[in-house]
Amino acid sequence: MLGQYNVGNCKSDILHPKMNGQQRRYFIAAEKILWDYGPLGYDKFSGLPLNASLYFTQGENRIGGQYWKAQFVEPSGTEVHLGILGAAEVGDTLLVTFANKADKVYSILPHGVLYDKTGMLLSVTNSLVSSGFLKPGAHVKPGETFTYRWTVPESVSPTDDDPSCLTYLYFSAVKAIEDTSAGLVGPLLVCKKGVLNADGTQKGIDKEFYLLFTVFDENLSGYFDENIQKFTWRPSSVDKEEKKFMKSNRMHAVNGYMYGNQPGLSMCKNDRVSWHLIGMGTDTDMHGVYFQGNTIHLRGTHRDSLALFPHMSITAFMQPDHAGKLGIFKVFCSTLHHFARGMSQIYEVNSCGNKDPSEPPYGMLRTFYIAAEEVEWDYGAGRTHKRSTQPGRWERRGEGR
């Protein structure tokens, strides 16, 4: 299911919105890595070893829980969730230098910003590759670098009712299904003007977390054959079309981790926390994300869950401040088979010596009073009971005639 359309220059002068903000430079690389979906070796919810699970059993014709994958990484390498590419305010220009340190041709395609199409081509097909029509930024070869130029015009700004920063995503689009299945996807923030600190963090936010909910289908990864050769004990015995084998390679993960193995989701009581959630995948990736123990603020409502769909991003606010709400809580997909197959993680709320917040909590505090009383109830109050004038069943059927 693929089509093409042509865009021509109908005017000699193309209007470009003026960018009156900062010019921000970011550096990011794609690297081939050996990824473990369960580095702790056990299910943090049940305490059972992961090798008891279908997805972590290695054998003659089973890969197990480790795969060769590709990942976007930043030079610092300090982010334990998803390596954020960076945040940008309305009016900014982003210069993103991409170094392909992996072993396949990759690219970066963003959502939520404008990019220079002289360096990119959206739809990549084999015929385009062979004919040489690809733009440089659309196919960065191993060992090469390319600098993308993205702009953030007023037209993509968060509205007055939106959070200060909205969550978007970027991914490799050379072979989009293979590339994203291999792991090449990450978050990008587009913010209102004046809401970022000098270091690029949000003003008024203490912690930011990035969660990617998706079923990584390793059967579709560009490294699938290599993973079979590397991790199965008898590669020649593998039937790629066998249903159980294919199922064992569909990893139900949050940020590439399963069964609570995600590190680093820790915050303090009263912290102002921004959650950035991203959905990827296919029609099976319809997720009901549930936060245990605390509520989130989303689109003017307070709730504990939200709906997430493929190529959809959501920004939610949390301030864990209720008495007694300290400790370890779950964040997971409430779709039953997603949860049962590992799409669940743990976040931790610590006291950190915090008492009352130094400033009012997010939003307005309202107090309501309600009581439950025992009453004698009449379901037919004010009515007279009359015999029905409708004919009985036997009369309707002619039995009484």
* Spans of all domains in the chain: 23-350
**Residue 333 designated active-site:** yes
CA dihedral 218, 292, 85, 21 (to 10 degrees): 150
State the Cα–Cα distance between residues 350 and 322, nearest whole angstrom.
12
Q: List residues bridging with 309 in a β-sheet.
A: none
State the catalytic residue, choosing from 10, 191, 333, 352.
333
Residue found by looking up tokens 């982003």 in the block:
94
Q: List residues bridging with 196 in a β-sheet.
A: 202
Residue type, 51: N
State the Cα–Cα distance between residues 293 and 289, nearest whole angstrom.
13
User: On the CB side of 382, how many CA atoms lie within 13 Å of its CA?
Assistant: 0
- Over the range 370-387, which residues count as b (16 or more CB within 10 Å of their CB) and which as e? eeeeeeeeeeeeeeeeee
Alpha-carbon 300 to chain mean position: 21
Determine the topology of domain 23-350 in CATH.
Immunoglobulin-like (2.60.40)
Alpha-carbon 244 to chain mean position: 27
Within 10 A of 323 (CB to CB), how many other CB atoms are there?
6
Nearest CA among 233, 280, 275 for reference residue 256: 280
Strands 312-318 and 344-350: unpaired
State the Cα–Cα distance between residues 130 and 47, nearest whole angstrom.
52
The tens place of each residue's pLDDT in the chain, 401 residues long, gives: 888 998 877 776 666 777 888 999 999 999 999 999 999 999 999 999 998 789 999 999 999 999 999 999 987 655 555 545 789 999 999 999 999 999 999 999 999 999 876 555 443 444 444 444 467 788 999 999 999 999 999 989 999 999 999 999 999 999 999 999 999 999 999 999 999 999 889 999 999 999 999 999 999 999 999 999 999 999 999 999 999 999 999 999 999 999 999 999 999 999 999 999 999 999 899 999 999 999 999 998 999 999 999 999 999 999 987 655 678 999 999 999 999 999 999 999 998 876 655 555 556 788 999 999 999 998 888 776 655 555 555 455 555 54
- Backbone CA torsion sign across 213, 219, 225, 229: positive
Residue found by looking up tokens 């009369």 in the block:
395
